[in-house]
Structure 1
Amino acid sequence: MAEPVHRTGHPAAPDPVRTLRTLFAEVLGRAGVDAGDSFTGLGGDSIQAIQVVSRARAAGLVVRTRDVLRAESVSALAATARTRAPGSEDTGPITPPRRLGPLAPTPIMGWLAGLGGPVDTYNQSLVLRTPPGFGTADAERTVQALLDTHEMLRLRLPDGIGATGAEPVVPPAGTVAAADLLEHVDARRTDEADLPALTRERIRTARRLLSPRDGHMLRAVLLDRGPGHQGRLALVIHHLVVDGVSWRILQDDLRTCWTALTEGREPALEPAATPFAHWADLLRAEATSGRRTAEAERWAAALREAPQPLAGVRPPGGLDPESPENTLTLTLGPDLAGPLLTTVPGLVNGTVNDVLLTALALAVLARRAAEGADGADEEGAVLIDVEGHGREDVADGTDLSRTVGWFTTVFPVRLALGRPDLDEARLGGPAVGAALRLVKEELRAVPDKGIGFGLLRHLNSRTGTGLAARGIPQIGFNYLGRFPMGGDAPWDAAPGHDFALDDADEGLPMAHAVEVNAAAHEGPDGLTLSATWTWAGNALPGPWVRDLAREWFTMLRAVVTHAARPDAGRLTPSDVSLARVSQADLDTFESQLGALL
């Protein structure tokens, strides 16, 4: 079994290989990791890589996210790591990064304001098990540590979201009191089976108390079950200041705070190396840089209209809000989700997004073909707005592994699959492999994982108007990564609650005609893939979306079937350093090599 990394008293000189093996095992939920294993080979994704970087930093090692993802083994990654003395700061710029004061609006803030609806209580939430006896005083000290450490949790918007008046401002630590944001609920007489319903009720109340104008971006609810039973701590945080990666940071911080409390110490957390305010300043400057403005034509070309439904774009606005009636959740079990999310991406040296988007594009083509609507589109184009975690290496010296905030990027990708044999694809034949290689290459060609689109669309006055006029893809897609579920230890996610899914205000229009939010859940029985489909009732009929959702799972099963074929793994042009090599050249070479062997 992997040994836990102790985060309160680190050795002066940690063994990099041993520490990284332990962290890989922790983050990936494995019993053990060998020195020769690679992070991506074990199924790790970019969000989990950020977790490794954050936990390595706490353990006295400094590694970069890009190195975690690219290193061929733990040993190779350890060779790039450097040690960091406990409590020391990394060498950085002469001028300390800015933490407080006016906050430059980021692209995702502009995207949210552009939806044109109420967003004052637009939030994400997480419910955690608390240790027996964790009471009000413990909760106040813990939540206060979070507020004082992570500046964005104190963000204040004097004129509201999207207003043209005063900019958002980050006030100093201590200006927001945890006691004002925390509700204590005596749940000592509440049965375990009744806790989820009571928790959801209190979350609904807490979300209504969020107030960006007053700097109340967080509400906490403690369901106290006394000294003999685990309780619950529900955190409800405005989406403007939190995202999927942030929740992982906060969950680790809660464990650190509890360790301090049990040792009789005041909780103290390490501040982020790169504060969000500093990052926002960097983005504002980056938006008008030459390397970003050079991308404008690329993004405009991606947004050109295609002739078929769910292939092109629509004008902004005019969509219905989300509603429970227009929501569908499907789950893929461990027998398929396990290999789909771990083994299959490695076959083409790709990512989970490559796999999921390939199947989604094939599913859209299949639905169009079923309606006899594919004959006019030789390109076979499917246009999708893809969400990314946004913590990209676009400026030297930044480390966002401990920065809490909303970093999400949204960018269009145009997946042109031509005219694949869809019957063959459903059976997991070569058509699946060909589509997977095309999608992988298209996603690899996106500069800096799409961060430039939002910069040019929302922060650059010269390019923003033209890109806005191009419209918005009809499909939105977001893979949230892997979340551990079903654990029974303190600070594990509590049963009966979805993990940090968006909770929008009533009346907030949807951004896309249909949106897919997928997440992998790690439970006692293995990995499952849960996908929630939401659609605008005035844009698409429910039966059509349900058919598309089922077709997507059919194509995902086909990808797993294809992965078992002996010819499934293939190189793509971006895997080799040769200039001007095509996919056809590589396929020919591999076929000839196979014949010789």
Structure 2
Amino acid sequence: MKIRGYRIEIGEIESTLRRCHGVGQAAVVVREDQPAVRQLVGYVVPDTGGTSLDVSAIRDQLAGWLPDYMVPSVVMEVGVLPLTTNGKLDAEALPKPGDVPRADMVVAENDAEQQIMDLFAEVLGIGEVSATDSFFALGGDSITAIQLVNRARSKGVALKANEVFAHPNPRDLARDAKSIDLCESNNEDIEFISVSEKHHIQSDFNKPSDILPLTPLQQGLLFHSLLGQDEERAPYVSQLVLELGGGLDIERIERAYSRLIERHEALRVRFSHRESGEPIQVVLSSDAPVFIAHDESERNDIWSQVREREGVAFDLENSPLIECHVYPIMGGGSFLVLRMHHLILDGWSMPLLLDDLLSLYSGDSRPVSSEVRLRDFYEWLARSGSENSVSTWTGVLGDTVEPTLVAPEAGPDRPHLHVSQSFDLGSALTREVERLARDLSTTVNSVLESSWGDGSRRTNRI
């Protein structure tokens, strides 16, 4: 079972719930009471003492023992766990979140708090929100935070994503929220090219659905991609290789992949340049997916083909920047290979994308699971401003006045050495890293990258 791209062990969560003070029985289910919004919900029955449970304290206990993505969005106390005639848990008979009054409910003190509580419930698809509930404890994440910001703006409330992370409950968030004029807010869309130039681009790309600037990170990726496109191994091209057992229905996986491209705007992007030379990204209204079913081959031959294509450059302006290849293995099974450019996808997106593809293959006919368009993200980024980043990096770089090589001693004639090392942090240290990330409202990856950067600085190696 996966939630938000993470594999969830229901049994482990249930056994951990039963360790909590006062809990006699426990069950955890994945609910989807709102289309495309999945959340973990825990149900607990008091032990023989019969006293009411403090579900808020139980969630706090779980947060200390489990990674954040395995902590149920809601923990509900029930009198008994309903069973089917076969003696198994009757998940359908369990109450929805919000159907049972919460003992820890804190009501809104004013209209601003109530409006944000209603927005939490609407975006997360839950029935009841307390004024002191954390958006992220209820199941929110960075994607739904952007949804919340955009939904709030559509209703005349000015929020920023960083404010949601800094003040994740309605009471604190309402203190920072400002009212905005809806007509004024609708004029804040990204409009960075003239009408005539837009018509020219629309003609070149057959009426694309959107034209957007690049983020600062994308600008750097694009520069290095164009600089190294003639190298033996093109930069920022990666592959995800999966070995699938059993029979794979080629026609069905091709249909699923086509629907995946339809669902996600980022997979239909091309990169071009304005007349001024400034880079742009163009979101196509539709695209012809690159799906290639290869002939059945021996395992070693397939690996040779996969490695051969690994560093092949993409045509950033004229071709899709993601491909799907299926290689049937002689004797049974298949390799499913997704080739992609880092300009449109990062590693954190891959579990979500893969989960979506496999759901489509299994017959999922739901619409796009996220309301966030690419434009939503870029408008949020434009509103966030870059003054703090410029100030921070100006201080870090100090008196540097010209480009500086990361490794000054590495001349053009020296070979590039790639060294990979793997080690196990161990379960105890892993839990500590996860707890630190949760306390800082950031990702485990950010904690590890920061640790690596700080360690490198201290040892003067980089």
- The 5-angstrom pairing of residues 414-433 of structure 1 reads none
1:276 corresponds to which of 359, 374, 396 = 374
Matched residue SS, 1:273: coil
What TM-score results when the alignment is normalised by the length of structure 1?
0.41
Residue ranges of structure 2 left out of the alignment (5+ in a row):
1-8, 12-27, 44-57, 75-96, 98-121, 145-149, 155-185, 191-207
The answer on whether the counterparts of 2:321 and 2:340 sit within 8 Å (CA) in structure 1 is yes
Inter-partner Cα distance in structure 1 for 2:235 and 2:447:
33
- The 5-angstrom pairing of residues 198-237 of structure 1 reads 198-199=302-303, 201-202=305-306, 204-205=308-309, 208=312, 210-225=314-329, 229-237=332-340
Inter-partner Cα distance in structure 1 for 2:403 and 2:214:
25
Counterpart of 1:62 in structure 2 is 124
- Residue 361 of structure 1, CA deviation: 3.7
- Residue 146 of structure 1, CA deviation: 1.2
1:152 corresponds to which of 262, 266, 274 = 266
Matched residue SS, 1:235: strand
Inter-partner Cα distance in structure 1 for 2:66 and 2:255:
38
The answer on whether the counterparts of 2:292 and 2:326 sit within 8 Å (CA) in structure 1 is yes
1:341 corresponds to which of 430, 433, 436 = 430
Q: Compared with structure 1, are the counterparts of its residues 245 and 140 closer, same or farther at alpha carbon in structure 2 (3 Å cutoff)?
A: same
Q: Compared with structure 1, are the counterparts of its residues 297 and 121 closer, same or farther at alpha carbon in structure 2 (3 Å cutoff)?
A: closer
Counterpart of 1:26 in structure 2 is none
Q: Compared with structure 1, are the counterparts of its residues 315 and 80 closer, same or farther at alpha carbon in structure 2 (3 Å cutoff)?
A: closer
Matched residue SS, 1:330: coil
What CA RMSD, in Å, does the superposition of the two structures yield over aligned residues?
A: 5.2
The answer on whether the counterparts of 1:203 and 1:221 sit within 8 Å (CA) in structure 2 is no
Inter-partner Cα distance in structure 2 for 1:229 and 1:269:
33
Q: Compared with structure 1, are the counterparts of its residues 231 and 359 closer, same or farther at alpha carbon in structure 2 (3 Å cutoff)?
A: closer
Counterpart of 2:393 in structure 1 is 299
Higher RCO, 1 vs 2 (CA within 8 Å, ≥6 residues apart): 1
Inter-partner Cα distance in structure 1 for 2:221 and 2:42:
43
Inter-partner Cα distance in structure 1 for 2:36 and 2:220:
45
- Residue 176 of structure 1, CA deviation: 1.5
2:287 corresponds to which of 157, 176, 182 = 176
- The 5-angstrom pairing of residues 374-523 of structure 1 reads 475=462
Q: Which amino acid aligns with 2:228?
A: P
Q: Which amino acid aligns with 1:198?
A: I
1:19-41 Cα distance to aligned partner (Å, 9 max, x none): 9xxxxxxxxxxxxxx74544475
Matched residue SS, 2:340: strand
Matched residue SS, 1:153: helix
1:506-541 Cα distance to aligned partner (Å, 9 max, x none): xxxxxxxxxxxxxxxxxxxxxxxxxxxxxxxxxxxx
Residue ranges of structure 1 left out of the alignment (5+ in a row):
20-33, 85-89, 307-311, 369-473, 476-597
Q: Compared with structure 1, are the counterparts of its residues 279 and 364 closer, same or farther at alpha carbon in structure 2 (3 Å cutoff)?
A: closer
Inter-partner Cα distance in structure 2 for 1:236 and 1:323:
29
2:10 corresponds to which of 2, 15, 20 = 2
- Residue 209 of structure 1, CA deviation: 6.3
1:370-420 Cα distance to aligned partner (Å, 9 max, x none): xxxxxxxxxxxxxxxxxxxxxxxxxxxxxxxxxxxxxxxxxxxxxxxxxxx
Counterpart of 2:423 in structure 1 is 332
Inter-partner Cα distance in structure 1 for 2:37 and 2:374:
30
Inter-partner Cα distance in structure 2 for 1:171 and 1:117:
25
What TM-score results when the alignment is normalised by the length of structure 2?
0.52
- The 5-angstrom pairing of residues 547-566 of structure 1 reads none
Q: Compared with structure 1, are the counterparts of its residues 149 and 92 closer, same or farther at alpha carbon in structure 2 (3 Å cutoff)?
A: farther
The answer on whether the counterparts of 2:243 and 2:335 sit within 8 Å (CA) in structure 1 is yes
Q: Which amino acid aligns with 2:370?
A: A
- The 5-angstrom pairing of residues 31-46 of structure 1 reads 35-39=59-63, 42-44=66-68
Counterpart of 2:352 in structure 1 is 249
Matched residue SS, 1:129: strand
1:194-222 Cα distance to aligned partner (Å, 9 max, x none): 3xx62452353375363221131111110
The answer on whether the counterparts of 1:156 and 1:170 sit within 8 Å (CA) in structure 2 is yes
Matched residue SS, 1:128: strand
Structure 1, 201-210 or 355-364: larger mean CA deviation:
355-364
Q: Which amino acid aligns with 2:240?
A: L
The answer on whether the counterparts of 1:150 and 1:271 sit within 8 Å (CA) in structure 2 is no
Inter-partner Cα distance in structure 2 for 1:186 and 1:166:
39
- Residue 275 of structure 1, CA deviation: 1.2
- Residue 103 of structure 1, CA deviation: 1.4
Q: Compared with structure 1, are the counterparts of its residues 341 and 314 closer, same or farther at alpha carbon in structure 2 (3 Å cutoff)?
A: farther
1:23-68 Cα distance to aligned partner (Å, 9 max, x none): xxxxxxxxxxx74544475344xxx69xx99xx9xxx98189xx9x
Q: Which amino acid aligns with 2:391?
A: E
Matched residue SS, 1:245: coil
Counterpart of 1:164 in structure 2 is 277
The answer on whether the counterparts of 2:29 and 2:42 sit within 8 Å (CA) in structure 1 is no
Counterpart of 2:228 in structure 1 is 118
Q: Which amino acid aligns with 1:167?
A: I
The answer on whether the counterparts of 1:135 and 1:224 sit within 8 Å (CA) in structure 2 is no
- For the pair shown, the structure with the greater C-alpha radius of gyration is 2
The answer on whether the counterparts of 1:133 and 1:225 sit within 8 Å (CA) in structure 2 is no
- Residue 130 of structure 1, CA deviation: 3.4
Q: Compared with structure 1, are the counterparts of its residues 177 and 136 closer, same or farther at alpha carbon in structure 2 (3 Å cutoff)?
A: farther
Inter-partner Cα distance in structure 2 for 1:239 and 1:329:
20
Q: Compared with structure 1, are the counterparts of its residues 270 and 6 closer, same or farther at alpha carbon in structure 2 (3 Å cutoff)?
A: farther
The answer on whether the counterparts of 1:17 and 1:78 sit within 8 Å (CA) in structure 2 is no
Inter-partner Cα distance in structure 1 for 2:304 and 2:278:
35
2:243 corresponds to which of 125, 129, 132 = 129
Inter-partner Cα distance in structure 2 for 1:41 and 1:321:
50
- The 5-angstrom pairing of residues 59-138 of structure 1 reads 62=124, 77-78=137-138, 94=154, 100-115=209-224, 117-119=227-229, 122-130=236-244, 132-138=246-252
Inter-partner Cα distance in structure 1 for 2:216 and 2:140:
33
- Residue 13 of structure 1, CA deviation: 11
Q: Percent identity?
A: 17
Q: Which amino acid aligns with 1:272?
A: S
- The 5-angstrom pairing of residues 355-366 of structure 1 reads 357-358=450-451, 361-362=454-455, 365=458
Inter-partner Cα distance in structure 2 for 1:296 and 1:41:
39
Matched residue SS, 1:253: helix
Inter-partner Cα distance in structure 2 for 1:357 and 1:63:
34
- Residue 302 of structure 1, CA deviation: 2.1
1:108-149 Cα distance to aligned partner (Å, 9 max, x none): 122224447225763222112335322331221111011101
Q: Compared with structure 1, are the counterparts of its residues 321 and 230 closer, same or farther at alpha carbon in structure 2 (3 Å cutoff)?
A: farther
Inter-partner Cα distance in structure 1 for 2:211 and 2:419:
40
The answer on whether the counterparts of 2:237 and 2:341 sit within 8 Å (CA) in structure 1 is yes
Number of aligned residue pairs: give it: 307
Q: Compared with structure 1, are the counterparts of its residues 14 and 177 closer, same or farther at alpha carbon in structure 2 (3 Å cutoff)?
A: closer
1:167-210 Cα distance to aligned partner (Å, 9 max, x none): 321011xx3222xx1221233x525xx3xx62452353375363
